[in-house]
Amino acid sequence: MLAALWDSPRLRAWAGQALLLLLFVGTLVWLAANTVENLAVRSIRVGFDFLARPANFPISESVVPYSPMDSFAWAYVVGIGNTLMISAMAILFATLLGLFVGLARRAKHPMLSGVAGVFVTAVRNTPLIVQLLFWYALVTTALPAPRNALHPLPGVYLSQRGLYLPGIEWSGDGWGFAAGTATVLAVAVLAARLLRRQSPKSRMACALPACAAAAAILFLAWITGIGAAASLPKLRGFNFSGGMRLSPEFAALMVGLVLYTAAFIGEIIRGGIDAVGRGQWEAGRALGLSERQTLMRIVMPQALRVIIPPLTTQYLSTVKNSTLALAVGFPELGLVIGTVINQTGQALESIAILLAVYLTIGAAVSLLMNWCNARTALVTR
């Protein structure tokens, strides 16, 4: 019987895979045990119990509320939030600018295509960290002091301390309202899909869940005591207070990341459009479509099959390039982890958290882009 089982190619393949997996896991366990033993000999503590201790260091900017009395674990959450914010904004704006650059590179106007070509060549052949330092130096030295801040619009001030805009001050249980709103919207989307399946032509399939969701959100705002008030920046002493502030570090990081990524995305989009045969353009013109209609309705859907795979790689690179924010002092996850290591000495644990976070973000971006790629791929039968 054993000889018959071993003659099965599928069984041998699974057995080989299982053996390799056991060897890999065994190697990891041996490395971990050896590392812990060597650290214990040197009286170096290991473990994640430090996450519950107060951080006792400030973070200049954060998407979520933070104070030095919060734990190291919450400081990591703040760093993750800043990383996600800067990555998402850089990807969004770089994609829009990259689309413009890609189309400009193909433009028949010699000046427009020439400027786009110079931009792509200059940005792609300059290290990103050099560009970040350049923009940071430009923002912090070229702009005036707060007392002489530029005032282009009412409530808008631009100085060496950053860009100040009118903002909103919230009161009440913001986290409870946010969690409840997310739950209500998820339930509304699910209900709308179920109603649409039962009655595809009914207009009430989306109207009823939308109305119910709006009523539920208003009820949540009432029970959580959510309130909002306008907040305008005002000069007090040597700086502004109130409103919403965009720091020079954030501005330099965003400009550098967006311009750098847009140059690569522009070339990806240009290459994808050029990969579509000229006959498609001629077919659009024969149908009486304009150049813009031909691009958006005929050429671009076909070009997406070529654009999305390298675009996925560029999005992943943008997420990883956000770690260079420490060069300009923006408190993303890498800078927070560096500060935690200096205070606690828990280097292995902190680096493991950093690797796990970026692996998770990268996997999520890859899954989303692979889903988009599957939706645009040709279906072969």
The predicted model scores a pTM of: 0.79
Instruction: Report strand pairing: 244-246 vs 157-159.
Output: unpaired
Nearest-angstrom CA–CA distance, 328 and 264 = 22
Nearest-angstrom CA–CA distance, 45 and 344 = 10
Structure tokens at 278: 């000229």
Nearest-angstrom CA–CA distance, 381 and 373 = 18
Tens-digit pLDDT profile for the chain (381 aa)? 556 556 667 777 777 788 899 999 999 889 888 877 887 777 767 778 888 899 989 998 888 888 889 999 999 999 999 999 999 999 999 999 999 999 999 888 889 999 999 999 999 999 999 999 999 988 888 888 888 888 777 878 888 888 887 877 766 666 677 777 888 888 887 877 777 777 766 666 667 777 887 888 777 777 777 766 677 788 887 778 777 778 888 889 999 999 999 999 999 999 999 998 888 888 888 888 888 888 888 888 889 989 999 999 999 999 999 999 988 889 999 999 999 999 888 888 899 899 999 999 999 999 999 998 888 876 544
CATH class, range 72-163+247-376: mainly alpha
Residue 309 host element (H or E): helix 300-321
Nearest-angstrom CA–CA distance, 285 and 273 = 16
| Sign for the pseudo-dihedral over CA of 294, 296, 301, 305 | positive
DSSP string, 174-185: HHHHHHHHHHHH
Counting runs of H as helices and runs of E as strands, what totals does the chain give? 13, 7
Residue with tokens 């913001």, as numbered in its chain? 174
Mapped onto helix, strand or coil, the DSSP state of residue 246 is strand
Domain ranges of the chain: 72-163+247-376, 167-231
Phi, psi of 85 (to 5 degrees): -65, -50
Helix axes 300-321, 347-376, angle to 10 degrees: 180
Residue with tokens 């353009």, as numbered in its chain? 281
Phi, psi of 337 (to 5 degrees): -65, -40
Q: For position 171, what pLDDT does the model report? A: 67
